[in-house]
Each structure stands twice: as C-alpha cells, then as structure tokens.
Amino acid sequence: MNGFFDMPSDLQHSYVGLIGLHLQEALLPVAIGLVLALPVAQLCVRFKWLYPPVLWATTVLYAIPSLAFFVVLIDYTGQTETTVVIPLALYSLVVLVPAIVDGVRSVSPETNAAAVAMGIGPVRRYLQVELPIAVPAIFAGLRVATVSSISLVSVGALIGNQGALGNLLADANLYHRPILAVSSVVTTAVLAILADAALVLIRMLLTPWLPKSARRARRGAGGPAGPDANGDAGDKAGGLPAGGTLGDGTTDVRPTAGSAL
C-alpha cells in the first residue's frame, strides 16, 4: 500500500482533499437535479400529456456522451467545476423525474380525496401528502443518480484536472505509478457504496412505517404459531395458527405474524 495515500504535488490536494472535492462535484449535481425534478415531475403528474416529451428530452440529454458535453460547455464555462456539474445535473433528471412521477402516482385517490376534504390545497398536498408517501420511490432514484454521478465525475480529468479522484488515473500514467490508479478506483467505489448506504439509512429514518425486513415478514408468515398482535396465542384447540380454518369450518380472520396491519 506504499504510495496509496501519497498524492502527486500537481494535484494540489491531499488524499482527503480529493475525496472532499469528489463528493462536492458528485453530490452538488444530484441536489440541483432533485430541485429541478420536483416541480417538473409535479407538472408531469398534473398534465399527463407533458410526461412523454419530458421523458424523451431527459433521455436524449442522457444519451449525449459526457466528454462531448464537457467539450461543448468549455467555450462558455471554461475548464472549471461548473463544466462538470451542469452535465451531471442534467443526467440525474433521467432517473429522478420518472422516480418522482411514479412515486406521486402511487398515492391512492382515497388519500388525495381525504386531503382535499380537509381543505389542503394543491401545493400543500404535494409537499405534505404526496411527497412523503413517494419517499421510497424518490430515494430509489436518488441512489441510482448518486452512484452514477460519483462514477462520472472522474471523466472531468480530461478537461483540466476537474475529475477529483479521476485525476489520479492520468497521473498514474504520467508518473508510471499504477498504485495511483488503484487508489482512484478503490476510493471511488468505496465512496459510492457509502453514499448508497447513507441514502438507505436516511430513507429508513424518513419512512418508519415501512417494514424493516421483508425476510422477517416472510419468516413470520411461514413460521410456527405464536402470539398475535394482541398477545394471544394461536388456536390451541385446533392446533392451527391465526388465519387458519377452525374446527367448525369457519375461517379465523385474525392477522398472522407476517401480515401487514
């Protein structure tokens, strides 16, 4: 591992400094993309005819190679961090817009009707009712957008040392130090894994009503009879768990251990 943390002087950053710069160039575009995607997605939900052209436009933008995007922007933004941030923010829209639209559309009509009956207006309903319910879908999109952005930042090394950890790939070839390439690849992968885990944790904190483990639910549904939600044991006389058929031919409608309440 000798030289793994030893950065060339031309990078003007320490190992920790490169990590901070990489996260800044990767997470800022995702945040900008989320801010742009929220109102766009709401318009697509409100006006269904708008969704296909918006999805087409974001897909076309995503199809543009990042290097070509950088080259076009250099004439306007120069060899700066902005040249990297703009394309990555636009790339995130192709994931975030459909995720938000699908999440908001998953809100049941009954829930929206109840919100309307309580006098909640469209904006408040979107912010206080629809978005909280759509959090799982939104975070699924955020996870993909974040990991993709962390990996694409490295391409910025081709436009004037704007690739953060990706700059190590160029220096590995320049100084004949393969360990720099290993450091770049390993650190980028670890950052992506940690960022994904952090988003999962945040999603769990924001959605405490979701089951923590589907496996636990399956195990509860298929396991032996045990106390139900009220603390009562299964049907001892018939030897059946809750939810089975009783001796008189009727069906016990008590929820099983693995059923959703």
Q: Is 162 helix (H, G, I), strand (E, B) or coil?
A: coil
Fold classified for 10-206:
MetI-like fold (1.10.3720)
Contact 69, 91 (CB under 8 A): no
Strand partners, 133: none
**Cβ neighbours of residue 229 under 8 Å, at least 6 residues apart?**
255, 261
Name which of 194, 177, 141, 178 is nearest 22 in CA terms: 194
d(CA 140, CA 132): 14
Q: Report pLDDT for 110.
A: 86
Tell me which amino acid residue 55 is: L
Name which of 259, 260, 229, 257 is nearest 241 in CA terms: 257
Q: What is the pLDDT of residues 59-68, one digit of tens each?
A: 998 988 888 8
Q: What is the pLDDT of residues 208-244, one digit of tens each?
A: 877 765 445 444 444 444 444 344 434 433 444 444 4
Q: What number of residues does the chain have?
A: 261
Q: Burial level of 37, CB count in 10 A (0-12/13-18/19+)?
A: buried
Alpha helices, DSSP H, located in 50-130: 51-63, 66-77, 81-105, 109-117, 122-125
Q: What is the pLDDT of residues 80-103, one digit of tens each?
A: 888 888 999 999 999 999 999 999
**More confidently predicted of 193 and 174:** 193
